[in-house]
A and B are shown apart, each in its own frame.
Chain A
């Protein structure tokens, strides 16, 4: 009799557990989320967006009009390399024949490539962590990350290349995506050139 009752109790408990477990799990999860929410009280969800807006303005005020338009339209900036002896500092690459260039993406490795052939050379993994972390996030806004890379490349290319972890292409950035971006860049430049020719020829642009 006792054995039968015990067995029945175990079965009933198991059935109840099946029913109650998801509810208990849900309640525990809700309690955890409530605690997390309390921990980040005062967090302003619009802050990151406003930071990015400010960062875009700062980027725009520092880079060339062409580079800004490139970033705005394509989401990355091309920076000409100067270490190969081809490009003179500050000179236009068309005048000096820069033999390589970089694609600068926000929060992705810098990709070095050959503009003549589109061959990818290397990925330079670099970050700009703020070790003081006064605002609870170690990540710069996207446009600030691009600007930091741009300043480091145009200001002291050797230093940033030496600091970065260099890898073969494909380690973090999909080579297919980069080749597509290079194609997009080519199309974008062609369109800009045509537009410039039309406007200089006195034909109104649409």
Chain B
């Protein structure tokens, strides 16, 4: 998510292809280093959709279709 732009595709690839995985890991780290939070939309046990916050690429489920990066939260107006 980017202010003024909405959704922007950063990288895509097949996790089972080594080159793609390297690319995805590199982009993942770059985004987290830039202070973004990462979330994976998933289906909860009760069948409701929810997000799973991830801090490391290894926490991303192998079958995840996408990771959404968004600016980290900060306390709002005092």
Contact = CB atoms under 8 A, between A and B. Distances in A.
A164 B76 contact: yes
Contact of A126 (B3, B49, B75): B75
A152 interface: yes
Interface in B22-39: 34-35, 37, 39
Given A47-B4, A109-B76, A132-B34, A89 B71 contact: no
Interface residues of A, number: 56
Interface residues of B, number: 33
Given A90-B50, A135-B4, A155-B53, A128 B73 contact: yes
Contact of A154 (B4, B50, B78): B50
Nearest to B72: A128
Contact of A91 (B1, B7, B44): B44
B75 A137 contact: no
A95 B46 CA distance: 9
A27 interface: no
Interface of B: 1-7, 34-35, 37, 39, 41, 43-53, 68, 70-78
Q: Please name the 5 residue pairs, one residue from A and one from B, whose CB atoms are nearest each other, closest first.
A: A90-B44, A125-B76, A91-B46, A54-B6, A151-B51
